[in-house]
Chains A and B, each alone.
Chain A
Amino acid sequence: MHEPQPETVQIHINGKSVRVATGSTVAVALTLTEQACRISVRHEERGPLCAMGICMECRVTIDGVPSRLACQTLCQPNMDVRTHG
């Protein structure tokens, strides 16, 4: 028997608390809160495009580590996500 998982998980995006369904990726959390992931070299906002770890457009800083792929990372309790890094 394993513990039933809580239905939601709270993370922090740019210091602001966000609650999403357990099992959501960071890309989902960013999309729900309508936030871009980063700014391109041509100063355009970029976010999840392929959602399968190929296009590299959804890079964010997670718990201090830059260039993590939001679409390939599940939200963990109290995760710290920074965009536009």
Chain B
Amino acid sequence: MSSSYDAIILGAGIVGAACALECARGGMRIAVVEGDVVGGGATAAGMGHIVIMDDSMAQLELTRYSQLLWAELAPELPEDTEYETTGTIWVAADQQEMEEVYRKQAVYGQQGIVTKVLDRPALRKMEPNLHPGLAGGLLVPSDAVLYPPCAARYLLEQAVRHDAVVVPKKAVRIGNGRVELNDGAILESQRIVNATGTAASDLTADLPMRKRKGHLVITDRAPGFVRHQLVELGYLRSAGSSTADSVAFNVQPRKTGQMLIGSSRQYDADHKEVDRSMLVRMLQRVQQYLPGIADLSVIRTWTGFRASTPDKLPLIGPYSDDPTIFLATGHEGLGITTSLATAKLLMNYFTGSRSAIPLEPYLPSRILLEAQHA
């Protein structure tokens, strides 16, 4: 028995769900293959920070485009998605980091992104619970937060409204226009999109991706304890490091009044259990910036795995010698933000229409080419 579709999306995390909606809305006949909980993988371990990042120009373009798409979608998101334009404050610990604040402001400004430099008193006024010794920060008012599993579920529901079919099975083999499921059934399509996060490597060989473990902590409710998503300026150093385990101060106010605390990064830690040493390092880091947080109670801790690529950019588009295989993975810690732009870029590629930003920096072939020249 086999069924044929215009595209088959593997994985109903936020990236797969976004791709399914975009393609279904464009009139394509879509199947989404997800054998587990919708948004239960890396999506459930993402903070849900819709954030503009500038590790590279390509990252800046993709995150900015995505953030605008989220802002456009926001009015129709259901209440449980908890979307809120909190803004981000990139916190500068000292004068040296204030230099980085000005550099960042200039880069964002060139892209037309409004930011505001905060000196010590201004930072203190906006976030009184931050350590008084911190030098200042950069406010990016357009950044937002949301609850990723509910956002993924909503996107998938919308895809279904546009006649997408959800297949609650696991894909075990893909290629040559065929997806073999764990019950032996076969689905057919000339476009098979592997959007299974870190699991993408199980279905597509030789992906240039590594698992990068992260921890999250959520506290009891303390409304107003912080008002913006607060991230240390050294975050990019932590995220950008390609070897050592690292932690960075990253705290998000949830709409519920809870504080969501990140972030840690570990390569080659395959077990899902919480690593107490990483958790301790993370919480110590947070306390350096927010001493008063020690009075709040932690009620949950959990972990997840980011799909990271060598150049910190996702893999979007065709891959390998098989013209029926496409990728939408490798988003590392930015998949919640960049899911919507990923879907647009993929759909534009399928229809041959012009995309709002160039796809080239995210094409999987960029890494293959680099490997050939290395």
A residues near B (Cβ < 8 Å) are 41, 56, 59, 66-67
Among candidates B256, B257, B297, B300, residue contacting A67 with C-beta atoms closer than 8 Å: B297
Identify 15 residue pairs between A and B in the complex whose beta-carbon atoms are under 8 Å apart, listed by A's number: A41-B221, A41-B256, A41-B257, A41-B258, A56-B299, A56-B300, A59-B220, A59-B297, A59-B299, A66-B220, A66-B297, A67-B220, A67-B296, A67-B297, A67-B299
Tally the A-B contacts, defined by beta carbons under 8 Å: 15
Query: Size range of the interface on B?
Result: under 10
**Complex-state Cα separation, A67 to B300, whole angstroms:** 13
B residues near A (Cβ < 8 Å) are 220-221, 256-258, 296-297, 299-300
**Complex-state Cα separation, A56 to B220, whole angstroms:** 10
Shortest 8 CB-CB distances between A and B: which pairs? A67-B297, A41-B256, A56-B299, A67-B220, A59-B220, A56-B300, A66-B297, A66-B220
Query: B-side binding surface: helix, strand, loop or mixed?
Result: strand
**Residues of chain A within 8 A of B299, CB atoms compared:** 56, 59, 67
**Complex-state Cα separation, A67 to B299, whole angstroms:** 9
A41 vs chain B, min Cβ distance (A): 4
**Residues of chain A within 8 A of B258, CB atoms compared:** 41
B150 vs chain A, min Cβ distance (A): 12
Instruction: Name the residue of chain B whose CB is nearest to the CB of A41.
Output: B256
**Residues of chain B within 8 A of A67, CB atoms compared:** 220, 296-297, 299
**Residues of chain B within 8 A of A56, CB atoms compared:** 299-300
Q: Given contact pairs A41-B257, A59-B220, A67-B296, enumerate 10 new A-B contacts (beta carbons under 8 Å).
A: A41-B221, A41-B256, A56-B300, A59-B297, A59-B299, A66-B220, A66-B297, A67-B220, A67-B297, A67-B299
